[in-house]
Chain A
Amino acid sequence: MVRLKDRYLLVNILYTDLPPSTSTPVPVPVPVSDLLLYNQPTNSDLKPQTLLKDVRNEVTSLFGDCGAGKVNHNLQVKYFSPATSTFILRVSRDHYRLVWAALSFMQSCPMKNGRPCIYRVVRVSGTMRKVEKETIRRARLLVLAAKEELKGKSSSVSLGDLLRGDNNNQQRTLPILGDQDVDSASEDDMVEG
């Protein structure tokens, strides 16, 4: 049986400016911590459909009709949370790079007077479950960081972890050079080929 193979992209929306506050017309320069600055919520008016449309447009402009055709048939927003600026996209496995590239080229929120932002693909996975797990993991780290900040400590470490991207690195200890013979390993690979 043919099985449709998908990839799920976990994407964060990063804003660099402060949100346009509606209550105070003149923005008072309040010191905002990095944690809040880089994890701002997205405007609730943004609907998943709009987001999807924007991604499609971007793919079309970058890769033309061919690229759009490859991607469009099963591009879907599985999850979109404006409060945390996180969304999960489903793409077909063969063409997820096109979507990723399109996301990298998108520069603003797809609405009227959209704020400038960056779409950051945090995780690519074959199953929804793993993406959800990764989202939870990242949210946990942020919660920890926020709690530390509430206590008055700086939380640069966990924020750094988040921004570093590779989620496995922090669990891994230092790579210790073992008995592995670098030379022979590479030679063996050559032989295999």
Chain B
Amino acid sequence: MVKRKDPPGGAKDSHGRQPDNTRTTKRAKVQAARTIRTQPSDAALEDGKLDLNRFLNAREFEIKSLERSMNKCKAVNATRVFQMVPRAMRRRTASHNVKRVPKRLRAQARKEMLEDNTPTVESRKRKPRTTRARIRAETMRKLRYLAEKKRKRKAKKAGDGAVEEVQRRGSAVVTTRPPRPKIRRNMLNEPPKADSKYRKRQINKTWLPTHLWHAKRATMTRPSSPLWRFAIPLTSTAKCYRPTHRASGQKGVVAWDTSYMSTIGVYGTADCLERALRYLGLVQEGLWNTRGRKWRAGVRKWTGTVSRQQKGSRRDIGPATIVWNPQPPATTSDEMETSEKPKKPRRQILIRTHPSCFLELFEELLKVAKGQKPQLHVEDLRFEVGSIELVGPASTETLLGILEPFHESPEAAERHANVFRSLAGVANPASLPKDAILAFSARDPRLSYPPKRVQIPSGGEQTILKTLTDWPVEENLKPYDIFDRESRYQASRMPSQKSLNRRKGANAPGEPIKVTAADPPIPVMLLASRPGTDGQAQGTWTLLAPWKCIQPIWYCLMQYPVSTGGNPRLGGLEEQRQIAFEHGTPWFPGDFPATTAGMNWELEERAKRRRDWDRRPKSKRLEWKSLDLGAGRKGEIGDGLACDFEYLFGVSARTRTQGKPDAVSIPDAVAEAMVVDPPAEQPQSPVGMTIRQVTKTEFSALMKSGSGEGVVPEGGIVAVGLEFVTRGVAKPCARIYRLPRKGGKVGGAVGVPSTQAEVPATPEARTRDGLPVDLSEQWLSKAPNGDKKKGAAVPKMPVGVDMETRKKILAGSLLAVEVPYPKPAAGNQTDFGGHPLCPGEEDLIGFVTTGAFSLSEGRGTAIGSISAGRALETLRETGPREGKFCVVRNAGESIGWLARWEVV
């Protein structure tokens, strides 16, 4: 075999020349391409004298020759054809296997491989290397041999009595209807029975309908540790952080198979349902008076947090989306019936919630349902209804491309389907009416596979605007099919891919398959939601469909050619978190530590962090005890690997008198007295039971109520979005401090003489714990638009002035701005290079649950939870502007950064 790379100049033939192989010619070519042509000096001289024209020509020649050289160099570069493939399509194996290269490049790739003498490796034909693989290969060979023998024997037998056999079998075959899935009332349901081949792998968990697709393309949860009893894709195996950001905000679309979200159906009379929902915390009057009419009619959804009663207070369960099924139109026969037997019409609602809080909600619902009269029926529709979520400017387009209305004739056409078709050109589902719903019957998307790009009708802006403002979905409202068990079941009996292929084969090429009686309508429901915070961000489409229909829809969805190029991107759990973070909204359950689900998540994260930390060698992991926080403080506050709310509220219990609740209206003198108190009680555990979410509305109400009456519930936390003022990036578990009280207590009277003895040279006034008195001012001076207004002094450069004037203005501005000299000394001169010290432990108010550099903001942002009581206290003392400044310090770091919080 020839060596892949000949030694340079090694192989010379008998005449001492290089052999004329491709390698030497290539080298010569490269060398030729890299030489740059030049001119002798005469070219620039006219008869030995300097001449302007000659000078000009010489320069022009130089420019040309350099440009030519650059182009030639680029052309001769050693690139292989598999490097031309777009990044997402590159495969490692493409370097040695032409079959991994797109077809149009294959010929060239083959030629290059021959030139380079690259050996092709086919994994199928590779010799087994390990003992295990060898044994396996041998077994395979033996089995193959056995199977061959068996087949031969059978063929021989069939030769004897083939005819009778067929006849006998034909009569004996009994066709059976596949059993309808059982949905039991008021009980949890079994997951769908898995294919026998895969059953063993789904003992402790359920696969999503698209599991096989995702398992090839995404990192899934570990088989031994499923998430919420599902195998959930966590993140794509390809690099996707920035592409996801782009696809979700600027161009493209990200799609998730969110079939793991749990759906619950509740049946009963309208009053009973209202009572049950009120019990679950839907107490806003807007829902039950005329303002909530559309919601109760079933043309809008409601999304919010449901809660349950617990020992005199309410405790959040988690977010839920609630949709009512519209009532059937009152017909004459119905009226007859009602006149005979006055019976209240039964309504039906669908509650869609997160799997981590599903059980809690389901049990609560059961409790409520049994208490109603007439009783409500609760159905667990977890494995009946699946869902897909889409975010991005092309989300509407993608849905339009794959969902075609089942009924096409004008008289049978559904109103919602028509409205949906008219949405072509809508770039953001948030532009739809708030909480809009569309429910209709769609055709099997495989019938028109591959999906084609949607044509946007020209001049359709007016019609779109009209549709969006009128939103004509309320006429002829019929109950939605997706609520109906029978239609869901019919939809799940879709024809097999094999039969579709057969039908397609019978058709002319390119012709779509015609709908026959074998193709059932798929009842779908589309929910448009807006992001929690600002109106600019992209909304989300949620597509609900029967569980079994999710997979074919997903396959077609992922093939849709988006008008801005490419296909929809797949998203995992990480991407969902990322997008929520970029929108500045808290993500359930990670950012809701006050719920049971959130606390469980937090505990798991803690365990994970602890495991990772334990695995590191001792010399390479953070030693929490020796962390230097400045001013003689050593050691991390609380557990460095946790959002340690236990510690936070344990501390608050220690610093306050025991009898008082976490009330905020405490006069300063009392507060001072309490600081001296010895630790009164230990933190209760588990903390999940003691902390409680305070919503944005509750918090603003408390703020308005003034210092007298508002009492924050004990252990109340409020979710906040944090934005760093100057710099800094927070990680999860970062500590949030409020700014210390201005002109804090000066120490020295009785406090701790030792600190005084240690730092006699520093003339700064220090409080009892060694922190400077003006720490708050030091931090506030870091804020860019503080009292000084440095930026305002510089005049703006007017447009279109000449250079002289510009210079004058600049000089003037330079002289006008007073830069103090010598630079004023930083507040903290002892350590951390003059950076202000972190506030003390008593000013700890909360923890960051999610934090990173936000691509949408271009700076570090974070989502965290802070103690509502302490936040209110600070806000009342220092006002709404300064009170919202805080210091965020990552766990294990000594330096904090100034940030602002905003309740979300």
* Contact surface of A with B, Cβ cutoff 8 Å: 18-19, 21-23, 30, 32-33, 35-37, 39-44, 78-84, 86, 128-129, 132-133, 135-136, 139-140, 142-143, 146-147, 149-150, 173-179, 181-184, 186-188, 190-193
Instruction: Digitize B35-47: 1 where CB-to-A-CB distance is under 8 Å, 0 elsewhere.
Output: 0101111111101
- Total inter-chain residue pairs, C-beta < 8 Å: 141
A19 and B50 contacting across the interface, CB-CB below 8 Å: yes
Nearest 6 A-B pairs (CB), nearest first? Answer: A41-B41, A41-B44, A44-B40, A83-B39, A190-B833, A179-B791
Q: Which residue of A lies closest to B726 (CB)?
A: A184
Can you spell out 15 A-B residue pairs with CB atoms less than 8 angstroms apart? A21-B48, A41-B58, A78-B36, A129-B70, A132-B36, A132-B66, A135-B62, A136-B62, A140-B63, A147-B56, A175-B810, A177-B813, A177-B817, A179-B790, A191-B832
Answer whether A44 and B70 are a contact pair too, CB < 8 Å, given A83-B61, A176-B797. no
B62 and A191 contacting across the interface, CB-CB below 8 Å: no
A44, B40: Cα distance in complex, Å: 5
Distance from B433 Cβ to chain A, minimum over Cβ atoms (Å): 40
A181, B824: Cα distance in complex, Å: 14
Distance from B825 Cβ to chain A, minimum over Cβ atoms (Å): 11
A25, B784: Cα distance in complex, Å: 72
CB of B59 within 8 Å of the partner chain: yes
- Could you say which residues of chain B place their CB within 8 Å of the CB of A39? 55
Interface of chain B residues 784 through 809 with chain A (CB within 8 A): 784, 790-791, 794, 796-797, 806-807
Contact of A19 among B49, B814, B835 (CB under 8 A): B49
CB of B60 within 8 Å of the partner chain: yes
A132 and B70 contacting across the interface, CB-CB below 8 Å: yes
A37, B819: Cα distance in complex, Å: 45
A182, B726: Cα distance in complex, Å: 13
B784 and A83 contacting across the interface, CB-CB below 8 Å: no
A149, B55: Cα distance in complex, Å: 12
A83 and B62 contacting across the interface, CB-CB below 8 Å: yes
CB of B674 within 8 Å of the partner chain: no
Distance from A14 Cβ to chain B, minimum over Cβ atoms (Å): 14
Answer whether A142 and B59 are a contact pair too, CB < 8 Å, given A21-B49, A81-B39, A177-B817. yes
Interface centre among A128, A177, A187 (most CB of B within 10 A): A177
B726 and A188 contacting across the interface, CB-CB below 8 Å: yes
Answer whether A146 and B55 are a contact pair too, CB < 8 Å, given A84-B62, A135-B62. yes
A123, B306: Cα distance in complex, Å: 67
- Could you say which residues of chain B place their CB within 8 Å of the CB of A147? 56
Distance from B660 Cβ to chain A, minimum over Cβ atoms (Å): 40
Contact of A36 among B50, B63, B67, B790 (CB under 8 A): B50
- Could you say which residues of chain A place their CB within 8 Å of the CB of B796? 176
B66 and A44 contacting across the interface, CB-CB below 8 Å: no
CB of B895 within 8 Å of the partner chain: yes
A181 and B58 contacting across the interface, CB-CB below 8 Å: no
A43, B62: Cα distance in complex, Å: 17
Distance from A139 Cβ to chain B, minimum over Cβ atoms (Å): 5
Instruction: Digitize B509-540: 1 where CB-to-A-CB distance is under 8 Å, 0 elsewhere.
Output: 00000000000000000000000000000000
B794 and A146 contacting across the interface, CB-CB below 8 Å: no
Interface size of B as a range:
35 or more
CB of B69 within 8 Å of the partner chain: yes
A21, B48: Cα distance in complex, Å: 5
A40, B52: Cα distance in complex, Å: 11
A187 and B834 contacting across the interface, CB-CB below 8 Å: yes
Instruction: Digitize B2-43: 1 where CB-to-A-CB distance is under 8 Å, 0 elsewhere.
Output: 000000000000000000000000000000000010111111
CB of B503 within 8 Å of the partner chain: no
Distance from B200 Cβ to chain A, minimum over Cβ atoms (Å): 45
CB of B373 within 8 Å of the partner chain: no
Given contacts A40-B50, A41-B58, 4 further A-B contacts (CB under 8 A): A143-B60, A184-B784, A192-B833, A193-B833
B833 and A187 contacting across the interface, CB-CB below 8 Å: yes
CB of B610 within 8 Å of the partner chain: no
Distance from A102 Cβ to chain B, minimum over Cβ atoms (Å): 23
B727 and A188 contacting across the interface, CB-CB below 8 Å: yes
Distance from B276 Cβ to chain A, minimum over Cβ atoms (Å): 55
A146 and B791 contacting across the interface, CB-CB below 8 Å: no
A42, B38: Cα distance in complex, Å: 12
CB of B673 within 8 Å of the partner chain: no
B41 and A42 contacting across the interface, CB-CB below 8 Å: yes
Distance from B65 Cβ to chain A, minimum over Cβ atoms (Å): 8
Distance from A122 Cβ to chain B, minimum over Cβ atoms (Å): 14
- Could you say which residues of chain A place their CB within 8 Å of the CB of B66? 132, 135-136, 139
Distance from A41 Cβ to chain B, minimum over Cβ atoms (Å): 4
Distance from A130 Cβ to chain B, minimum over Cβ atoms (Å): 10
Q: Which residue of A lies closest to B819 (CB)?
A: A182
A80 and B782 contacting across the interface, CB-CB below 8 Å: no
Answer whether A44 and B52 are a contact pair too, CB < 8 Å, given A174-B810, A188-B727. no
- Could you say which residues of chain A place their CB within 8 Å of the CB of B616? none
Distance from B727 Cβ to chain A, minimum over Cβ atoms (Å): 7
- Could you say which residues of chain A place their CB within 8 Å of the CB of B47? 23
CB of B823 within 8 Å of the partner chain: yes
A183 and B823 contacting across the interface, CB-CB below 8 Å: yes
Q: Which residue of B lies closest to A48 (CB)?
A: B38
B38 and A80 contacting across the interface, CB-CB below 8 Å: yes
- Could you say which residues of chain B place their CB within 8 Å of the CB of A142? 55, 59
Q: Which residue of B lies closest to A18 (CB)?
A: B50
Contact of A82 among B39, B49, B727, B832 (CB under 8 A): B39
CB of B826 within 8 Å of the partner chain: yes
- Could you say which residues of chain B place their CB within 8 Å of the CB of A179? 784, 790-791
- Could you say which residues of chain B place their CB within 8 Å of the CB of A183? 823-824
A82 and B41 contacting across the interface, CB-CB below 8 Å: yes
A192, B790: Cα distance in complex, Å: 24
Q: Which residue of A lies closest to B56 (CB)?
A: A146
- Could you say which residues of chain A place their CB within 8 Å of the CB of B790? 179, 181
A176 and B794 contacting across the interface, CB-CB below 8 Å: yes
Q: Which residue of A lies closest to B814 (CB)?
A: A177
- Could you say which residues of chain B place their CB within 8 Å of the CB of A133? 70
B56 and A143 contacting across the interface, CB-CB below 8 Å: yes
B62 and A139 contacting across the interface, CB-CB below 8 Å: yes
A140, B60: Cα distance in complex, Å: 8
Distance from B148 Cβ to chain A, minimum over Cβ atoms (Å): 50
A188, B784: Cα distance in complex, Å: 13
- Could you say which residues of chain A place their CB within 8 Å of the CB of B43? 41, 83
B833 and A146 contacting across the interface, CB-CB below 8 Å: no
Interface centre among A36, A81, A139, A193 (most CB of B within 10 A): A81
Interface centre among B43, B59, B782 (most CB of A within 10 A): B59
B794 and A177 contacting across the interface, CB-CB below 8 Å: yes
A174, B802: Cα distance in complex, Å: 11
Q: Which residue of A lies closest to B61 (CB)?
A: A83
B41 and A23 contacting across the interface, CB-CB below 8 Å: no
Contact of A23 among B44, B48, B61, B807 (CB under 8 A): B48
Interface centre among B38, B69, B782 (most CB of A within 10 A): B38
- Could you say which residues of chain B place their CB within 8 Å of the CB of A86? 62
A81 and B38 contacting across the interface, CB-CB below 8 Å: yes
